[in-house]
Amino acid sequence: MATLRDIKKRIRAVQNTQKITRAMKMVAAAKLRKVQTRMLELRPYAEKMRAVISDLARGADREMHPLLAVRPRKVVEVIVMTGDRGLCGAFNANILKASQGYINNLKKQDFNVSTSTIGKKATDYFRRRGVPMRRSWTGFSGMITYSAVQEIANDIKENYINETIDEVTLIYNEFKSVIAQRISIVRLLPLTPIVGIDSIREGKEEGTFTESVGTDFIYEPSMKDIFDRLLPKNVDIQVYRALLESSAAEEAARMNTMENATKNCDEMVDKLTLQFNKARQTGITKELMDIVGGVEALK
């Protein structure tokens, strides 16, 4: 049976842990506010850019720009985005589980899968399982800059243009609210609409571009100049947006996890305090019985 001293030590340990979880929650909340502001400002811009380029590309010649090319799906690049750190609940585990399922589904269809990772958790996950990774990037948690994102985007564009890969898919957690995230599987190249994880699990495949339906555009200065400027920029923006979404979702998950941990510490302290009081009361009762017994013996 635990002594009073042991129970006191456990109470102090839990209280110290509670101070840490409360501080981590506050830090995550501060980081969330910053990245959420950036993400919400970029989201409409990224969505509108993708929609405009999709409309323009419908009536364009596929040979006009290498990023417009639609080739047979021989090598599919899957880029998995996670965090660099844990203590964020099931945030990393959910994205890794969905990524593994998506990759396994591609392999069942006899596609050659090329895997790249963004985030230490994804890198460690695939490395432990002996999965070859074409590229891996870490150090983005809380430090996402556009210049750093361009390094990733340039690598994607270069390998797509050189026909090293024929399709690029991003898998990340999309921020929905402070208490909710959604796993998104986005086909980055060739350009297609976004598809959610539910559609993938149901086996719904995205098609390529359809023919333009009677829409004529006037291009100034020229169609080629517009695509030369906008298509590479679109890849940069979509990768940037995905990283900001993932970062916001990670900080929200960490904040909620630390809040739950703090509440659990409260409950544990209450239980230990009750246990301490019961043990102390038992000790007092025993001492009183010894005193009464001694008095009776003296009579």
pLDDT digits (tens, 9 = 90+) for 247-273: 999 999 999 999 999 999 999 999 999
User: What's the DSSP call for residue 205?
Assistant: P
Residue count of the chain, please give it.
299
DSSP code per residue over 261-276: HHHHHHHHHHHHHHHH
pLDDT digits (tens, 9 = 90+) for 36-94: 999 999 999 999 998 888 887 776 777 778 888 888 888 999 999 999 998 998 999 99
Q: How far is CA 39 from CA 25, 32, 64, 206, 231, in A?
A: 20, 10, 32, 26, 21
Residue 264: CB atoms within 10 Å = 14
211 pLDDT more than 50: no
189 closest CA partner among 173, 172, 208 = 208
Task: Note the CATH number of domain 28-254.
Answer: 3.40.1380.10
- The crossing angle, in degrees rounded to 10, of helices 223-298 and 146-161 is 120
Q: Residue 183 in contact with residue 94, Cβ under 8 Å?
A: yes
46 closest CA partner among 293, 241, 259 = 241
pTM of the entire predicted model: 0.83
126 pLDDT more than 80: yes
What pLDDT band is residue 35 in, cutting at 50, 70 and 90?
very high
Q: What integer pLDDT is reported at residue 143 of this predicted model?
A: 81
171 vs 61, more confident:
171
pLDDT digits (tens, 9 = 90+) for 233-246: 999 999 999 999 99
**Cα 208 to chain centroid, rounded:** 27
**Cα 35 to chain centroid, rounded:** 13
User: What's the DSSP call for residue 67?
Assistant: G
197 pLDDT more than 70: no
Q: Residue 4 in contact with residue 280, Cβ under 8 Å?
A: yes
Q: What integer pLDDT is reported at residue 192 of this predicted model?
A: 57
What pLDDT band is residue 1 in, cutting at 50, 70 and 90?
low
User: What's the DSSP call for residue 241?
Assistant: H
Taking the CA atoms of the chain, what radius of gyration do you get in angstroms?
28
Q: What integer pLDDT is reported at residue 288 of this predicted model?
A: 78
Active site residues: 88
Q: What integer pLDDT is reported at residue 139 of this predicted model?
A: 86
Q: What are the residues whose beta carbons fall under 8 Å from the beta carbon of 209, sequence distance 6 or more?
A: 54, 57, 58, 70, 190, 191, 192
> Buried b vs exposed e over 30-48: b needs ≥16 C-beta within 10 Å?
ebbeebbeebeebeeebee
Q: What are the residues whose beta carbons fall under 8 Å from the beta carbon of 243, sequence distance 6 or more?
A: 81, 118, 140, 144, 149, 172
172 closest CA partner among 185, 160, 162, 159 = 185
In three-state secondary structure terms, 240 is helix
Question: What region does 87 belong to: left with phi over 0, alpha with psi -120 to 50, or beta?
Answer: left
Residue 122: CB atoms within 10 Å = 27
Find the mean pLDDT for residues 189-209. Answer: 47
Q: What integer pLDDT is reported at residue 167 of this predicted model?
A: 93
The full set of domain ranges for the chain reads 28-254
Q: Which amino acid belongs to residue 198?
A: D
208 pLDDT more than 90: no
Q: Residue 200 in contact with residue 179, Cβ under 8 Å?
A: no
212 pLDDT more than 50: no
Q: Residue 83 in contact with residue 121, Cβ under 8 Å?
A: yes
